[in-house]
Amino acid sequence: MSFGAALCCVVEGRRSLRRRLWRAGALGTALALALTFASASFAQGAAEDRAALEARQEILLQAMLSDPQDFDTAFEHAAVSVRLGDYEAAIGSLERVLIQAPENPGVLLEVGVLYYRLGSFETARSYLRRAENAPNASAAVAERAGQFQAAIVTAEDPLKVSGMLTTGVRFQTNANAGPTDRFIVLGGSTYLLANTVLGRQDWNAFVAGNIHASYDLGNQGDLLEADLLFYGDRYLDVSRVNSAMSELTFGPSFNMARFDIDDARFGVYGIVNGVRLDGGNYSGTIGGGARFAIQPSERSTINARIEYRHNWFRDSSTYQSVSNRNGYEISGRLAHVFQLDDTWSVRGFFLAGFEQAKASFESNWHAGASVGATYRFASPIERLETPWMVDLDLGYLYRAYDAPDPSVSTTLSQSDNEAWVRGALGIPLRSDIVLSLSAEYRRVQSNYRTRDYSNTTGMLSVTKLF
């Protein structure tokens, strides 16, 4: 039952105090369920304009002050306040009801839920216990009170673990990032490239995931955090690019409120990374980094990080000279996401870095940027209630190398211009499962013909959140 439907059953004019108290008890369960889901529906794109809701909230507040015993107005004010995310105002309205009906299980439940959403767990627990143990508490109220008490236990646990797992299939027109021209000029001579070197289309199946763990150090919100990233794929034909990768980052992050910087965190972390290609060890990395994240407003998020990585590469029969890339990398990234409204968000990303390698022709610096937008819209399928999402991203990266590669040119150093466009449709099948259809076109324009290529990708994937 929606909150509006619940209210329409009670707004019938002025009544005696006894009648109002009886009605408040009868509406307890409906009130609790309606208010609990009100904020979620607003976040997903409620029809009401925020300014109109704020105006309505003010009118209802004045009406409550004129008649403190009008439960109908108190309930509606609470509902509007929850839709606005103003939980304190909603609590104030419902506590007015509790003055006249102190053992109303539905109202006790909802006040407990609102305190839970504010992070006041001890106060929330007190109200939830009262709701659960109220003499006239329904089974639904008792069950929901128990669920939120269990959620409080989880929230108070200093160890938090979350993650995501994605699996899918991908088609690429140039899976090995090979050149399209069969004839190339190297060192002033013309060569005919073998078919195995040219770009080849292929399918692969893949799995990727991220596990995040944090431990509350009990010191003003400081955390010890760790992230494990992993990825693996298998191609139908081009087995030399079969890959597996894992990376662990770990370290403390600090709540910057101690320096009067609200909604911000600063962290330092270590990095361990390993990559396998074609069934053999390809590279390893150790390093460290620092990151800063801040939410300047409810709609804006900024993330920045700088990293140092020391890399080792292992020569093999397939990759015979990759050890030339042994060395270190210093890089920085800055990202900004801005929520325009309930349907549109935009983002920008900038990165730059320098790689120092054993072979000077592998040393390079690079810089690039990308911009993107996400549009959320109501699901066209009635059974899928969560809004769908469309993403679009455009990006560019420039890379310049320090010295000529003698196997290609004795005078000309490599330089690359890389650009891409990517689009995706996200279809939430449940709150924790998302089906995604995506496509990307990537073009690398290089003055070294063997490094010049383009690739078009299509992908179908499913992501599980936990």
184 and 217 co-located in one domain: yes
138 and 275 co-located in one domain: no
Residue 328 — pLDDT band, cuts 50, 70, 90?
very high
**Cβ atoms of residues 98 and 74 within 8 Å:** no
Instruction: Inform me whether the pLDDT recorded for 30 exceeds 50.
Output: no
Determine the pLDDT at residue 4: 35
**Cβ atoms of residues 220 and 257 within 8 Å:** yes
What CATH number does the domain containing 139 carry? Answer: 1.25.40.10
DSSP code, position 374: E
Q: Which of 137, 156, 175 is the last residue of a domain?
A: 156
Domain total of the chain: 2
**Cβ atoms of residues 370 and 349 within 8 Å:** yes
131 and 187 co-located in one domain: no
Instruction: Inform me whether the pLDDT recorded for 41 exceeds 60.
Output: no
310 and 405 co-located in one domain: yes
165 and 184 co-located in one domain: yes
Q: Decide the pairing of beta strands 388-404 and 364-377.
A: antiparallel
Determine the pLDDT at residue 43: 41
DSSP code, position 152: H
**Cβ atoms of residues 422 and 393 within 8 Å:** yes
Determine the pLDDT at residue 183: 63
Determine the pLDDT at residue 80: 86
235 and 335 co-located in one domain: yes
| Residue whose pair of structure tokens reads 């995310």 in the numeric block | 85
Residue 185 — pLDDT band, cuts 50, 70, 90?
low
Least confident of 195-199, 201-205, 212-216, 283-287: 195-199
Residue 195 — pLDDT band, cuts 50, 70, 90?
low
Instruction: Inform me whether the pLDDT recorded for 36 exceeds 50.
Output: no
Instruction: Inform me whether the pLDDT recorded for 197 exceeds 80.
Output: no
How far apart, in Å, do the first and last CA atoms of the chain sit? 28
The rounded radius of gyration (Å) of the Cα atoms in the chain is 29
Determine the pLDDT at residue 13: 31
Residue 188 — pLDDT band, cuts 50, 70, 90?
low
Q: Which of 156, 187, 211 is the last residue of a domain?
A: 156
Determine the pLDDT at residue 193: 65
146 and 294 co-located in one domain: no
User: Tens of pLDDT along 69-120?
Assistant: 777 888 888 888 888 888 888 898 888 888 888 888 888 998 999 999 888 8
If one compares 137 and 171, the residue with the highest pLDDT of the two is 171
Residue 372 — pLDDT band, cuts 50, 70, 90?
very high
What CATH number does the domain containing 413 carry? Answer: 2.40.160.40
What single string gives the DSSP state of each residue in 40-107? HHHHTT-SS-HHHHHHHHHHHHHHHHH-TT-HHHHHHHHHHHHHTT-HHHHHHHHHHHHHH-TT-HHH
- 112, with CB counted inside 10 A (0-12, 13-18, 19+), is buried
Phi-psi region of 87 (alpha: psi -120 to 50; beta: other; left: phi over 0): alpha
Determine the pLDDT at residue 192: 64
| Residue whose pair of structure tokens reads 């399209």 in the numeric block | 180
Distance CA(241)–CA(178), nearest Å, equals 12
422: CB partners within 8 A, 6+ apart: 391, 392, 393, 394, 395, 438, 439, 440, 441
Residue 403 — pLDDT band, cuts 50, 70, 90?
very high
Determine the pLDDT at residue 45: 41
172 and 133 co-located in one domain: no
Distance CA(34)–CA(5), nearest Å, equals 9
What does the mean pLDDT of the chain come to?
86
Instruction: Inform me whether the pLDDT recorded for 24 exceeds 50.
Output: no
144 and 214 co-located in one domain: no
Residue 127 — pLDDT band, cuts 50, 70, 90?
very high
Distance CA(202)–CA(84), nearest Å, equals 50
Determine the pLDDT at residue 169: 98
Instruction: Classify the C-alpha dihedral 86-87-93-96 as positive or negative.
Output: negative
305: CB partners within 8 A, 6+ apart: 289, 290, 291, 292, 332, 333
Percent of the chain with pLDDT over 90: 58
215 and 263 co-located in one domain: yes
- 94, with CB counted inside 10 A (0-12, 13-18, 19+), is buried
27 and 87 co-located in one domain: yes
Q: Pick the closest to residue 452 from 199, 186, 175, 193 (CA basis).
A: 199
Least confident of 71-85, 179-193, 247-261, 279-293: 179-193
In the three-class reduction of DSSP (H, G, I as helix; E, B as strand; rest coil), residue 26 is classed as helix
Least confident of 6-10, 104-108, 129-133: 6-10
151 and 164 co-located in one domain: no
Q: Which of 136, 156, 176 is the last residue of a domain?
A: 156
The top-scoring range by mean pLDDT among 107-116, 206-215, 379-388 is: 206-215
Provide the residue range defining the domain that includes 97.
3-156
